[in-house]
Structure 1
Amino acid sequence: MKIVSWNINGIRASKTNLKTLIEDIGSDVMCFQETKVTRDMLDEPTAILDGYNSYFSFSRKRSGYSGVANYCKDSATPVKAEEGLSGGLTTNKNGSIGCYGNQTSFLEDELKDLDAEGRTIITQHRVRFPSGEEKDLAIINVYCPRFDPDREDRHQYKLRFFALLQTRAEAILASGSHVIILGDINTTHRQLDRCDEEDNESHKRPSRLWLNQMLYDKGRDPKLETDLDPQEFIAITPHIVGGKFMDSFRHFYPEKEGCFSNWCTLTNARSTNYGRRLDYILTDVELSEQCLKSASILAHIEGSDHCPVTVELTCEFIPAKTCPPLCTKFMPEFSGKQQKLSTFFTKLIKHDTITINNESVQDAFKGTDVSKGVKRSPQKIQSQPLKKQKTLEVKKGSQGKQGDLMSFFKGPGSKSDTTVNSSQVNDTKNIVTDPKSNSFSLSVTVEEARIKTKTDLLSTSKYFTGDPNSAEIVSNNELENEELVTNIVNDNKSSTTNAWKNILGGLGPAPLCKGHKEPCVLRMVKKPGPNKGKQFYACARGEGLKTNPEARCETFQWVVKKKL
């Protein structure tokens, strides 16, 4: 059987059909992190896949944030499924897994807070080993919190989440079930698991120490062992044992370099493989020794700033007869028990009409009377005289219209208020300012000009010719008139664009980087501080090691804007 974990960075953002995506990877259980959907955002194509049953955990704090999901093939249907680590989110005890461990060191509000961001979903399966033995297997899918250097409270939140995760995992393991912890752990274990050089930042140490003590003796980093202060660490994560799990990838590739699962998209770091290994599949030691077959990192699969990681085991799933109550297909909105808002509105029949001179006229060229369902005879349609058209005067600067750029620099009544008479549009020299004429300003948009011109043409020509089969409603001369008006308006828009360019100026061509003599890219400082919002030029290549000649060079140049 094959189990896959992937931080998809938005489950609805994928360009590939979700079912196709899962089948192409070939997993029996697909575990997603950072789905970025809340209960109200979950749609049926995402929730219900033919041949699969799904289980979601949603953030209760923010919409479109965090979230995890397990998609299980029907042949791997779980026996039980549960959301969260503390048990506080369990509403149906029939499908709960239980085994919460010693939570006395956690406050009640703290437990609620740790489960409120939708970071854990657990599915428990029945599996059969090659020996014929059957046993339970709990798959704990987690999206661990990221440390924010500007918020010390998030560092503490992350460590407490780790403590609760280990407490729950060891409790399930002690009950006799096998356990797999997988997902975005948001921590690198060894120096081998990150591209940057070793650092001494204290805020990164506790996370690495936690992951190090989770692993069995042979999988630990001796360098981190010397940094462990048992008294301080136990105070952060009480009631834990440690040493119960194995890093499945490092079990097969203990010293392999360049094996990363996450890259910075802003710096195009994936092109130079300048990344980190943040995604893990931790299997309990006994399960690993019995049936762990292979582990891999699918770095070639794109679609997120992370890539999938996988394990294969020689045991097989025994599917449950029915899905646990947490399955999305039992949600009222997907099971047909909850009516949708759209059902309260009746479908209205729209009549095809043409609006001319503020008068609604039934479309005479439809072969069917929509209101009565009776076919008309086209030969009986007679031309109807049109009522006198109201004069349409579009003025610059009027409410809801965009004025000409030059109107902001000239006073009212200036020569820029020139209008064009549509009846004299064949002669570009005939420009009048008669307010009583049926005219429009040069500052109108192209679409407004088209509408206005067509309206004028309709008022002076026979719209209904008496011959319904005639397709030539407007004469060629009238079409030429419309094109000329469009050209005049386009010329005016072009002059407006040029005026803006002259006022605002431009940055000009990008300079060449010093290392590769290639055009730089324009970037902006987003970090809070005195330089926030300032633009600069940098090498366009991807971030990488300084020793890598294909990586970006150290070109840096502030953008100096021209003074007006």
Structure 2
Amino acid sequence: MRVLSWNINGIRASKRNMKEMLDSLNSDVICLQETKVTRDMLDEPTAIVEGYSSYFSHSKKRSGYSGTANYCKNHVTPECAEEGLSGILTLTDDDSIGNYGNHTSFSDDEIKDLDAEGRAVLTQHKIRLEDDSIKNLVIINVYCPRFDPDRQDRHMYKLRFYALLQTRAEALLKAGCHVIILGDINTTHKDIDHCDPEDEESLKKPSRRWLNQMLWEKDRDPSIDDDINRDEFNAATPYTVGGKFVDTYRYFHPDKEGAFTNWCTLTNARATNYGRRLDYILADVELADKCLKDVDILQDVEGSDHCPITVDLKCTCIPASTCPSLCTKFMPEFSGKQQKLSNFFTKVSRNEVSNKEDNVLCVNGNTEADKVKLEGVKTDSRGLKRTEDVSKSSQPVKRQKTGLSKSTSGAKQSSLMAFFNKGSEQKLKKCTLKVEDNSSAEKFESAEMNSKYFKNKDEPTSNESQGSNSDSIVTTSQKLVKENSNETTSVWKNLLGGLGPAPLCKGHNEPCVLRMVKKPGPNKGKQFYTCARGEGHKSNPEARCDFFKWVTMKKK
């Protein structure tokens, strides 16, 4: 059984077919984070994928934000599925996984707030171990909050989310389930998990201390203080104990360097593997001893600023006979129980309308004779029957046209370039008149031109004549469009003053890349040139050099 975790950074951003993408990941349970879809944004091709059942958790606060999802192949259909960690979002007891732990350390508003951003979705599977014993395996897919240094409230939110996650995981273990916590944990554990370890203060970060106390003794970093007062530590509660989980990657590769899962896309840091390990698969100690087979970091899989990670388990899954109620196929908009908004804008043909009218007229008639009796009988908008002369009904009904008719004046809207280059449109008309020598000026005066073809609306042509002239017309039109485009570009450059060619960096003598300052401050919005290579260590000659140059605009 293979389980995969991936921060996809927007499930709709992928240009590939959803089934094709899922199949390429070659896993039984695929857990995605940062899907960035809310319930109203979820479309059918994303929600319903052949061969899979899917379970989503959406943000209730912001649209296109956060979000998690589990895709399970049919042979690993879960028995239960839940949204959130606290249980307040679970609608039915039949599909409840249960075992939520002691929440006395959390206020009611705090619990609601922690489960309101769609950061956790759980699926429970029945598995058969190698010793032929059957156990429940709960997969907790989480997208832990990011620490925003400018917002202290978000730092507290992150720590309290950690505390709720540990509370639920340890409660499930206590109930006899095996537990896997996976996803974007949004912290690095050891210095080896970061491309550029920070100073000694980083070892005191609450997020690193929380992850360190979560793991068993063999995985802990001795340089991180694990003496935690659980009454005062915001990332834990007095009812949690710690030391119950194994970092599956370090279980097999305790000292491997460069095992990163996240890179900065703005600096092209992935090219030099200048990143961090923020994504983890944590398994309970007993499951790790009995079932762990292999783990991997799929750094070659692109499409996000994170890469997928996988774990292989030595067990088989016993699929449930039916999917839990959280499954997307039971949503009213996908199960056919809810009228879709798009149906109101679908164009219906006259034949379909007439067929529907015939069906309405023949509701009470089961024979041909009954249909004849209903000849000439129609219903008005209130459903009342009224008779009508059949001979009259066969005549066409004249309807009064309403609305604005299309303009036939042939007036065209002036282009923006006309304000800067008054002779461009006249030049274009003159070029148009020269397309064919035998054509009159009046014929091409009203011709419509685009990048693909000219089409004369006034004189219909045969297929043969159209085919013979099409090649020359298309070639001429393409030349005119290209000439006009180049002229437009030159006009804008003369008007605004281009930046000119990019300077060469001093480290590699290569063209630089243009960037803009987005950080608030006096330089926000200013542009600058920097080395185009990916970010990396200063000792790495393949990494970008320290070249920097502010952009100075040309004066007219």
TM-score, normalised by the number of residues in structure 2: 0.80
Would the alpha carbon gap of residues 310 and 532 (structure 1) be closer, same or farther in structure 2, given more than 3 Å must change?
A: same
Identity of aligned pairs, percent?
A: 60
Deviation at 1:58, TM superposition (A): 0.8
Deviation at 1:134, TM superposition (A): 1.1
1:532 maps to amino acid: K
Deviation at 1:232, TM superposition (A): 7.1
2 CA distance for matches of 1:181 and 1:486?
A: 58
2 CA distance for matches of 1:524 and 1:541?
A: 16
Deviation at 1:563, TM superposition (A): 1.9
Would the alpha carbon gap of residues 215 and 505 (structure 1) be closer, same or farther in structure 2, given more than 3 Å must change?
A: same
Q: Which residue number in structure 2 is paired with residue 256 of structure 1?
A: 256
Q: How does 1:422-437 map to 2 (within 5 A)?
A: none
Deviation at 1:37, TM superposition (A): 1.4
Pair 1:405 & 2:416 matched: no
Q: Secondary structure at the match of 1:222?
A: coil
Q: Which residue number in structure 2 is paired with residue 122 of structure 1?
A: 122
**Consecutive unaligned residues in structure 2, runs of 5 or more:** 351-393, 395-406, 436-441
Q: Secondary structure at the match of 2:224?
A: helix
1 CA distance for matches of 2:474 and 2:74?
A: 63
2 CA distance for matches of 1:495 and 1:298?
A: 48
Q: Secondary structure at the match of 1:96?
A: coil
Deviation at 1:50, TM superposition (A): 2.0
Would the alpha carbon gap of residues 346 and 92 (structure 1) be closer, same or farther in structure 2, given more than 3 Å must change?
A: same
Would the alpha carbon gap of residues 326 and 517 (structure 1) be closer, same or farther in structure 2, given more than 3 Å must change?
A: same
Structure 1, residues 255-276: CA drift from partner, whole Å, max 9, x if none? Answer: 1111111111111111111110
2 CA distance for matches of 1:490 and 1:28?
A: 51
Q: Secondary structure at the match of 1:104?
A: coil
Would the alpha carbon gap of residues 292 and 482 (structure 1) be closer, same or farther in structure 2, given more than 3 Å must change?
A: closer
Paired residues of 1:159 and 1:236 also in contact (CA < 8 A): yes
Structure 1, residues 72-116: CA drift from partner, whole Å, max 9, x if none? Answer: 122111111100011111111110111111111211111111111
Q: Secondary structure at the match of 2:416?
A: coil
Q: How does 1:312-461 map to 2 (within 5 A)?
A: 312-344=312-344, 347-349=347-349, 392=410, 402=416, 404-406=418-420, 454=456, 458=458
Q: How does 1:106-117 map to 2 (within 5 A)?
A: 106-117=106-117
What RMSD over aligned residues (CA atoms) do the two structures have, in Å?
Answer: 3.6
Paired residues of 2:138 and 2:177 also in contact (CA < 8 A): yes
Q: Which residue number in structure 2 is paired with residue 363 of structure 1?
A: none
2 CA distance for matches of 1:68 and 1:497?
A: 45
Structure 1, residues 131-161: CA drift from partner, whole Å, max 9, x if none? Answer: 1111111110000011111111111110010
Deviation at 1:439, TM superposition (A): 11
Q: How does 1:43-62 map to 2 (within 5 A)?
A: 43-62=43-62
Q: Which residue number in structure 2 is paired with residue 376 of structure 1?
A: none
1:193 maps to amino acid: D
Paired residues of 1:246 and 1:282 also in contact (CA < 8 A): yes
286-295 or 200-209: bigger deviation: 200-209
Structure 1, residues 415-459: CA drift from partner, whole Å, max 9, x if none? Answer: 99989999x9569xxxxxxxxx99989xx99559x99x957xx3x
2 CA distance for matches of 1:21 and 1:233?
A: 45
Pair 1:196 & 2:196 matched: yes
Pair 1:76 & 2:68 matched: no
Q: Which residue number in structure 2 is paired with residue 552 of structure 1?
A: 544
Q: Secondary structure at the match of 1:50?
A: coil
Paired residues of 1:543 and 1:552 also in contact (CA < 8 A): yes
TM-score, normalised by the number of residues in structure 1: 0.79
2:178 maps to amino acid: H
Would the alpha carbon gap of residues 512 and 484 (structure 1) be closer, same or farther in structure 2, given more than 3 Å must change?
A: closer
Number of residue pairs aligned between Structure 1 and Structure 2: 494
1 CA distance for matches of 2:242 and 2:104?
A: 18
2 CA distance for matches of 1:471 and 1:438?
A: 20
**Consecutive unaligned residues in structure 1, runs of 5 or more:** 351-371, 373-388, 409-414, 428-436
1:51 maps to amino acid: G
1 CA distance for matches of 2:509 and 2:277?
A: 32
1:405 maps to amino acid: F
Q: Secondary structure at the match of 1:157?
A: helix
Q: Secondary structure at the match of 1:499?
A: helix
1 CA distance for matches of 2:474 and 2:220?
A: 78
2:264 maps to amino acid: C
1:23 maps to amino acid: D
276-285 or 123-132: bigger deviation: 123-132
